[in-house]
């Protein structure tokens, strides 16, 4: 690496505490959820007893930690100003944005860049897969807002009646349910019924069961465009013994005939609805006994163009978790994304502070499944922010970066190095002191996730512009 590139990399590591400085969530695992439950909109509850979660952090002065690296604001501004001048663009005062996405082969993002260019005519779709950082929905909501501003609204995307399976829903959604729903998620071993792309599955067993999804601000933020969310694709099991499915978005129920489908098939059915309110009601229809096995829905506009950004997060998930999803390939093919962001890793090395020997094979296997679903889809791998567990630093961040970079180079993926961009080893305390990281020293606050989402949106926008200005050129760190 050249001295100039080294300087920029150092600047990247420093950006953290100032530019974006940083959770969202706790993890739940009970096998059954009963009666009526409502998700908090702002902060998820404490973790359930059966899911490992760190204790509250001790006061700062009690921590046995090396001081966070000093940040040289002048050096960061100077480095970014130099880079901006080289690209013939102007930075506003104190602009610290530097969200570089790198790749060894520009073909890694060529499909995404093409879809980006034609989003006015054809749907652009981004699927963001991750753990609790993604299930919270905060960073993905910011990314969704930013992409909609550029490309228009193509629909909400993937959604699930979350209260039937987990204590919290993504940002801007509130879900409720009544009755007894059995559930499984991607963090469970020995699944009693299959999973799909969303990584959660719930089963209603009585005709009196129900669930609602209140899109709230997501619905109203879309304004008049929300009335174009008229296409609903359901992922529910078909065949005799299953209930039919009722969808009511304010203009009366639309019935999907699941009971007449092929036995045992996890079906893909579409309905045209007329949303007149933010609340979507889901209910089984038919005579008891019966089953409604639901793996979620995709909410889309029937009009061409626009963007959909899907938040696919499961608290506590590892790379291996999504390998348990039997119908992931089938449903991802149905969704047909242009970009898949694999934003995992925290739970793969947080607890033991080491990279398992088979982690590389798990990452490659998940990449392979994405490619099986849609060979042309671009894949963006991310790295994990600085972490602590039980008041001790987690020191595998750099090793995970090296692993991700190596896999990306050989698999033809791009990389967004959030570990370095957010500051690198030992910098999360600065995020916490700025009110951007939670006391568990694993998750961010809402403001922290908002900044992460904005940084990712900047990085995607920037890399598309960079590719247009540097035809046929690969992109390395520091360029």
* Residue 27 pLDDT > 70: no
Q: Which residues contact 375 (CB under 8 A, 6 or more apart)?
A: none
pLDDT band at 248; cut points 50, 70, 90: very high
Burial of 339 (0-12, 13-18, 19+ CB in 10 A): buried
* Residue 388 pLDDT > 90: yes
**pLDDT score recorded for residue 473:** 85
**pLDDT score recorded for residue 457:** 93
Check residues 318 and 1 and name the one with the higher pLDDT.
Answer: 318
Assigned CATH topology for domain 3-469:
Rossmann fold (3.40.50)
* Residue 213 pLDDT > 90: yes
Q: Which two tokens stand for residue 286?
A: 């038919």
Write down the pTM of the prediction.
Answer: 0.81
**pLDDT score recorded for residue 163:** 97
Over residues 221-235, mean pLDDT: 74
The dihedral through the CA atoms of 345, 351, 352, 357 has a sign that is: negative
**pLDDT score recorded for residue 406:** 95
**pLDDT score recorded for residue 70:** 38
* Residue 57 pLDDT > 80: no
Over residues 136-161, mean pLDDT: 95
**pLDDT score recorded for residue 73:** 34
Q: How far is CA 409 from CA 191, 316, 320, 368, 455, in A?
A: 34, 27, 21, 14, 23
Check residues 241 and 39 and name the one with the higher pLDDT.
Answer: 241
Task: Strands of 146-199 (E only): list them.
Answer: 157-159, 174-178, 180-185
Which residue carries 């060529």 as its tokens? 110
Coil vs helix vs strand at 93? coil
Over residues 244-251, mean pLDDT: 95
Number of Cβ within 10 Å of residue 398's Cβ equals 13
pLDDT band at 88; cut points 50, 70, 90: low
Shortest CA distance to 185 belongs to which of 165, 203, 163?
165
**pLDDT score recorded for residue 423:** 82
Over residues 129-154, mean pLDDT: 95
Check residues 71 and 87 and name the one with the higher pLDDT.
Answer: 87
* Residue 89 pLDDT > 70: no
**pLDDT score recorded for residue 420:** 84
Q: Which residues contact 153 (CB under 8 A, 6 or more apart)?
A: 222, 225, 226, 228, 301, 306, 307
Check residues 153 and 77 and name the one with the higher pLDDT.
Answer: 153
Check residues 341 and 19 and name the one with the higher pLDDT.
Answer: 341
Check residues 39 and 251 and name the one with the higher pLDDT.
Answer: 251
pLDDT band at 103; cut points 50, 70, 90: very high
**pLDDT score recorded for residue 64:** 34
**pLDDT score recorded for residue 94:** 34
Over residues 60-64, mean pLDDT: 31
pLDDT band at 263; cut points 50, 70, 90: confident
For the stretch 392-443, pLDDT in tens is 999 999 999 999 999 999 999 999 999 888 888 888 888 898 888 999 999 9
**pLDDT score recorded for residue 98:** 52
Over residues 91-99, mean pLDDT: 43
Which of 31-40, 66-75, 109-118, 339-348 has the weakest average pLDDT?
Answer: 31-40
| Domain ranges across the chain | 3-469
**What share of the chain in percent tops pLDDT 90?**
62
Cα separation, 266 vs 196, in Å, equals 9
User: Do the Cβ atoms of 422 and 99 come closer than 8 Å?
Assistant: no
Which residue carries 């104190």 as its tokens? 94
**pLDDT score recorded for residue 478:** 60
Average pLDDT, the chain: 81
Q: Which residues contact 55 (CB under 8 A, 6 or more apart)?
A: 390, 440
Which residue carries 């009970």 as its tokens? 30
For the stretch 172-186, pLDDT in tens is 899 999 999 999 999
């Amino acid at each position: 690496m050249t001295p100039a590139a080294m300087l920029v990399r150092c600047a990247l590591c420093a950006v953290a505490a100032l530019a974006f400085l940083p959770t969202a969530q706790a993890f739940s695992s009970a096998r059954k959820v009963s009666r009526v439950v409502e998700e908090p909109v702002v902060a998820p509850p404490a973790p359930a007893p059966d899911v490992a979660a760190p204790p509250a952090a001790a006061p700062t002065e009690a921590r046995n930690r090396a001081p966070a690296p000093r940040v040289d604001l002048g050096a960061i501004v100077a480095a970014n100003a130099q880079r901006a001048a080289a690209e013939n663009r102007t930075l506003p005062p104190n602009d610290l944005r530097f969200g570089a996405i790198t790749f060894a082969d520009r073909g890694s993002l060529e499909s995404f860049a093409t879809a980006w260019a034609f989003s006015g005519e054809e749907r652009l779709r981004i699927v963001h897969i991750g753990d609790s950082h993604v299930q919270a929905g905060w960073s993905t909501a910011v990314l969704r807002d930013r992409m909609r501003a550029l490309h228009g609204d193509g629909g909400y995307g993937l959604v699930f009646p979350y209260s039937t399976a987990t204590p919290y829903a993504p940002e801007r959604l509130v879900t409720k349910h009544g009755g007894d729903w059995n559930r499984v998620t991607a963090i469970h071993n020995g699944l009693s019924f299959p999973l799909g792309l969303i990584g959660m599955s719930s089963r209603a067993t009585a005709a009196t069961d129900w669930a609602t999804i209140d899109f709230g601000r997501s619905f109203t933020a879309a304004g008049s465009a929300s009335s174009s969310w008229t296409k609903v694709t359901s992922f529910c099991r078909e065949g005799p013994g299953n209930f039919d499915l009722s969808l009511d978005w304010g203009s009366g129920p639309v019935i999907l005939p699941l009971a007449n489908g092929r036995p045992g098939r996890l079906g893909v059915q579409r309905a045209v609805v007329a949303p007149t309110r933010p609340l979507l009601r889901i209910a089984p229809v038919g005579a008891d006994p019966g089953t409604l096995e639901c793996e979620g829905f995709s909410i889309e506009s029937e009009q061409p163009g626009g963007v959909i950004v899907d938040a696919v997060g499961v608290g506590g998930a590892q790379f291996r978790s999504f390998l348990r999803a039997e119908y992931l390939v089938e449903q991802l093919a149905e969704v047909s994304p242009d970009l898949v962001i694999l934003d995992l890793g925290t739970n793969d090395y947080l607890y033991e502070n080491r990279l398992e020997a088979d982690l590389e094979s798990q990452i490659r296997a998940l990449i392979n499944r994405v490619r099986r679903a849609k060979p042309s889809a671009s894949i963006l791998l991310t790295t994990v922010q600085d972490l602590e567990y039980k008041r001790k630093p987690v020191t595998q961040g750099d090793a995970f970066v090296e692993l991700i970079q190596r896999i990306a180079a050989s698999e033809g993926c791009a990389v967004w190095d959030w570990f370095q961009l957010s500051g690198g080893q030992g910098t999360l305390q600065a995020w916490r002191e700025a009110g951007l990281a939670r006391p568990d020293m694993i998750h961010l606050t809402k403001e922290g996730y908002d900044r992460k989402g904005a940084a990712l949106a900047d990085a995607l926008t920037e890399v598309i512009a960079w590719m247009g200005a540097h035809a046929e050129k690969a992109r390395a760190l520091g360029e």
